[in-house]
Chains A and B, each alone.
Chain A
Amino acid sequence: MHWKVEDLKARVADPRAWLPSVLAATLVAVPVITWMGSVGNLVPYLYHQVPDGQLVYLVAKLAGLAALVLMSVQLAIGLSGLARVTAERNWYRVHRGLGIATFATVLLHAVLFASAASLRSHSLLLGYFWPDFSQGYYRSMIAVGALALIVLALAFIAAMLRGRFPRIAALLHRLVLPVYALVWIHSLTIGSESRMGLMPYVYGLLAMLVAAAFAYRIVVTAQRAKPKIGS
């Protein structure tokens, strides 16, 4: 492949050419780097005997962190109303793609965690997928995650059926807001590392991103609603 300096300059000058790739790389890099900082050196796991399910548990944590990052960015795009404000159809495509990735990652996190616990206890623990709040703190906080998964599934199905039932689907899709709150509760209450190393900073940035998107939406909506002088 032969690159001309002019071509390169033109690509750099046009954010549309590189922004999606940079964003996608960031979405992968942030959880991976944060996770690596929290789990430490995993190389000894490869040549030592470790208990059944331990590595799967660590990967479940990575999936959980990736899900939180994806969900925050997804919520920021949705809340900011960028697709409507910019009238740019690409935002819809990004939102749809990220939605699929987010749901898949949340599901992966849940499946990996249940697999790790099942491998450890040598029995299939499907009960983790049902929100049971009657068995103490730990199971209740897992139940918060299970509830978030179930409600997210509803919101995801609603988004897929938006073409057929626009009004109901739009209403149901708003369930992602309580889901996001449940995800934070789940993550902060039993996510052992959510308050150490790089994680508090990543969590802070994600919270600020969502808050900024929401503020942007409010400002834009207010500006649009303002009557023009002389009209």
Chain B
Amino acid sequence: MTTRTWVLALATASLLFSGAILFHQGSKGRSRPPLIPAASAQEVLRYVREGKRVVFVDARESAEFREERIPGAINLTLREVRSLDPAELGDPALVIAYCIKDLRGYEVARALDHAGVRNVHTFAEIGFQGWKKLGLPTEKGAPVVSAAPSRVLAACAADVEQCTGRSRT
């Protein structure tokens, strides 16, 4: 086979493969069960309000994590999840894996679920971007071990309208 034939064969295969993926993407039935369930911000805040333990797993790189994150989130990239002992997370009522748009976050959620962590979810509002769009609290800078982040979230969950600056419609 000549180089040109190889290049053409590779290009055709790549296009066919991408086309098949996009076709699958477009034709997927909404009735299929979700691989990883998604929890809405309201559900998450209800858990916080009820005093249940919610663990936020930030799937981004540490530099992004330090810039801004959900208060109290822990930083676990995909490569770190593989060596994680599920017991380290305890037994939370809800584990939310996220990144900016949940492309990486979804893979981390899948890896956590595969590792045996229970109650793993992603955000229905799509990642940290969705969280910020809702006006929910964030924290910046180097993470510190304290109860302050949970207090911020609990206060927000207690009065969501005040916290997000939105009035009920």
**Which residues of A approach B to under 8 Å, CB–CB?**
20-21, 24, 28, 39-40, 44-59, 63, 93-94, 96-98, 100-101, 104-105, 108, 112, 115-117, 119-121, 136-138, 189-190, 192-193, 195-197
Contacts and interface: CB of A to CB of B under 8 A. Distances in A.
Given A46-B24, A97-B4, A192 B35 contact: no
A120 B61 contact: no
Nearest to B80: A196
A93 B61 CA distance: 41
27 contacts: A20-B3, A40-B111, A48-B32, A48-B33, A49-B30, A50-B34, A50-B35, A54-B103, A57-B103, A58-B107, A59-B17, A59-B21, A63-B14, A104-B14, A108-B14, A115-B22, A116-B103, A117-B101, A117-B103, A120-B101, A136-B64, A189-B61, A190-B61, A192-B78, A192-B104, A196-B79, A196-B82
SS of A interface (majority): helix
A55 B104 CA distance: 12
Interface of B: 1-4, 6-7, 10-11, 14, 17-18, 21-22, 24-25, 28-30, 32-35, 38, 59-61, 63-64, 67, 77-79, 82, 100-104, 106-107, 110-111, 114, 122, 126, 129
Nearest to A118: B101
B120 to A, nearest CB: 14
B61 A97 contact: no
